[in-house]
Structure formats: C-alpha cells, structure tokens
Structure 1
C-alpha cells in the first residue's frame, strides 16, 4: 500500500469463473460483502450499489473495464446521505468522504496451475493520507478473505467486521 493506492492479493482454491461469479453475482456479493450491484457489467454502464436497503447510484459510478474471468474495474461509490443513514455513518464523516476524489477499484483474476486463482485488488486515486484510504485499507483484506472463505468452504467469514460493517467501528466503504 502507498499513500494513495491499496493493492491486496489473495490465492483462492477456485477457478477464475467462480471468482468472477463471486465478484459480480448479487447472490454472492450479499453473502460476503453485505451489498449487491445493479449493472449489466458492460464498459461505460452505470452501477448502483444496494446496501442495507439504500440504493446508491450516480452518473459517475460506472464500469471501467470488464473481461469475464480476467479483469473487472469500476469507479467507487458515491457517499450519499441515504447510504450514510443505512450503514450508520454520521454526517460529518459522510461529508468528509464525499469531499475526497472519486476512486476506482480493479480486480485482476489469474489462474495459478490447475486449482488456484490469484485475485489482486487494486484500489487507487485516494487523497494521500485521507480518511477513505484508511477505511478501505482495513476493509479490503477482510472482504477478500471473506470471498476466499466463501468459495473454499461455502460460508463467508462471520459478519462481525466484514459484511457491510468493515473492521472496527467504521463501516466498509
């Protein structure tokens, strides 16, 4: 991790198609992340994030790259008052997050031998030393670990600290 980029890699006992499904299928994302995406995954398409009853959409929330089973990239979500109320974020923190530059996340999915997949998450464009990078740097290892655990065992990590809440008192963003 640098002061404006988070990179996290995890090895998963699953094939790339299963990892892709876990990243894009709402039934999977709700289980390990506590949210789902509404999009057709076509490059340029808008994305809505649905989390704890709040639907967050914005014209700048879009799919940037999409190659099934290999790569996926999109802009990070918009910090609306509805989102904040749904996940328990106070207005002061929400306003601070909303004032930071929009970031983007990219997933690289690579087969490793016959049984493993290497998933690399790269989240970039953060304000150096800002609150958002601090929150996301705590959340990504837990989210990736929960995805891995779900694919390998059939159950995600326990909700405490993962789905929709992030580690500690701050919600995953």
Structure 2
C-alpha cells in the first residue's frame, strides 16, 4: 500500500473464467462481498451498486475497461446518504468520504498454469493519508480472501464480528 494506492495480489486455485465470474456475476458477488453490480460491463456503462437494500448510482460510477477473463476496471462507488444509512455509517463520516476524489479499481487476471490464477487488485487515486484509503486498506484483504475461499471451497469466509467502526467496501 502506498499513500494513494492499494495493491493486493493473490493466487486462486481456479481458472481465469471462474475468477471473472466471481468478479462480475451477482450470484458470486452477493456471497463473498454482500453486494451486486447492475451493469452490462461495457466500457462507459454506468454501474449500480446494490448493497443491504440500498442502490448506489451516479453518472460517474462507470466501467472503465473490460476484457473478459483478463482485466476489469471501474470507478469506485458514490457515498450516498442511502448507502450510509444501510451500512450504518454516520453522516459526518459519509460526508468526509464523499468529499474525497473518486477512486478506481482494476483487476488483472493472469493464468498461472492450467488451474491457478494470479489476481492483482489495484485500487488507486486516493487522497494521500485519507480516511478512505485506511478503510479500504483494511477491508481489501478480507474481501479478497473471502473471494479466494469461495472459489476454492464453495463457501466464503464468515462475516467478521462487528467492530467499533464500519469498514465499507461497496
């Protein structure tokens, strides 16, 4: 992790097509991330994030790059009052997050042999030292581990116990 980007690489015992499905299909994202994306995955298409009953949409929340089984990139979501209410995030924190620059997530999917995939997650564009990079830096390892566990065992990691401060990821 740098002061303005998070990079996380993991190896998953699954082929690139299954990793792609886990990143894009609601049946998977709901299980390990607790949300779904409503989009057609075409470059320039808007993405609607659906999480805990809240729908987060914004004209700048879009797909930036999409090469099935290889690369996916999109802008990070918008911190709406509806999202904050559903996630249990206080208005003061939501307003702080909303005032930060929009970030971008990129997934690089690379085959390593026949049944192993290297997944590199790059989340960039943070304001250096911001609250958002701290929150995402704590959440990405758990999210990526849950994705890996789901693909390798058929079940995601259990939800961690509630802590003193929410760590929104979607």
**TM-score category by the smaller chain?**
over 0.9
- Return the alpha-carbon distance in structure 2 between the equivalents of residues 147 and 83 of structure 1: 22
Aligned counterpart, 1:91 = 91
Contact in 1 for aligned 2:12/2:117 (Cα 8 Å): yes
- Return the alpha-carbon distance in structure 1 between the equivalents of residues 34 and 59 of structure 2: 23
Name the SS of the counterpart of 1:61 in structure 2: coil
- Return the alpha-carbon distance in structure 2 between the equivalents of residues 99 and 75 of structure 1: 15
RMSD: 1.2
- Return the alpha-carbon distance in structure 2 between the equivalents of residues 148 and 172 of structure 1: 20
Residue of 161, 165, 168 corresponding to 1:169: 165
How many residue pairs get matched? 169
Aligned counterpart, 1:118 = 118
Q: Deviations over 1:22-65 (max 9, x none)?
A: 00001100000000000000000000000000000000000000
> Which consecutive residues of structure 1, in runs of 5 or more, have no partner in the other structure?
none
- Return the alpha-carbon distance in structure 2 between the equivalents of residues 33 and 114 of structure 1: 26
Name the SS of the counterpart of 1:46 in structure 2: coil
> Which consecutive residues of structure 2, in runs of 5 or more, have no partner in the other structure?
none
Aligned counterpart, 2:35 = 35
Aligned counterpart, 2:6 = 6
- Return the alpha-carbon distance in structure 2 between the equivalents of residues 88 and 170 of structure 1: 7
Deviation at residue 13 of structure 1 after TM alignment: 0.2
Contact in 2 for aligned 1:88/1:171 (Cα 8 Å): no
Contact in 2 for aligned 1:81/1:94 (Cα 8 Å): yes
Contact in 1 for aligned 2:105/2:122 (Cα 8 Å): yes
1:1-173 matches, within 5 Å, as: 1-160=1-160, 169-173=165-169
TM-score (norm 2): 0.97
TM-score (norm 1): 0.95
Deviation at residue 160 of structure 1 after TM alignment: 1.7
